Amino acid sequence: MEMENKDQNQQSSEAVGSFLWEIVRMLVIALVIIVPLRLFIAEPFIVDGQSMEPNFHNNDYLIVDKISYRVADVSRGDVVVFHYPKDTSQYFIKRIIGLPGEQVKIASGRVTIINSAHPDGMLLDESFLPNQAVTFTPGGEKTTQLGENQYFVMGDNRAHSSDSREWG
């Protein structure tokens, strides 16, 4: 009887050890897959605020692609997630309006892009805006010249967006 208890105890401790080993093994495999995936390929993002409505709403859950802009250039109209320039611990989601080297002019509620292809200006097609909403800036008309590595971004809900019109 005593021998049977020893065998049962030994089998029981082997089963627990085997179970723990499987848990550790599963965690290591998960970390090897998840950490690089999150660091280099895609990252979850939750929209905070109403600056991108009606296209993205508060608390929308997005998966942000981290590969595309390593192999292709950013284009006008792309929606990007980036570190807020005035507090890099925060992430913002906005739409690319102006590209490096361009001039962005906001006047009479419309956005005009001035670049080498359009030296007289090109009125920006903003069909993604609700009801073709107008774009205003604090203080009226505004013209911004972008540097070599600068982009001009704005939220789709222009009346409720903190964006390049305010902080450059």
- Return mean pLDDT, the chain: 86
pLDDT at 94: 95
Residues involved in catalysis: 51, 94
Residue 56 DSSP SS3: coil
Using DSSP's 3-state secondary structure scheme, residue 155 falls into coil
Q: Is the pLDDT of residue 18 over 60?
A: yes
Residue 125 — φ and ψ, nearest 5°? -80, 115
pLDDT of residue 4: 56
pTM of the model: 0.77
Phi and psi at residue 45, to the nearest 5°: -145, 135
**How is the chain split among helix, strand and coil, in percent rounded to 5?**
30, 30, 40
Q: Which two tokens stand for residue 47?
A: 């929209």
The whole-number average pLDDT for the span 30-40 is 86
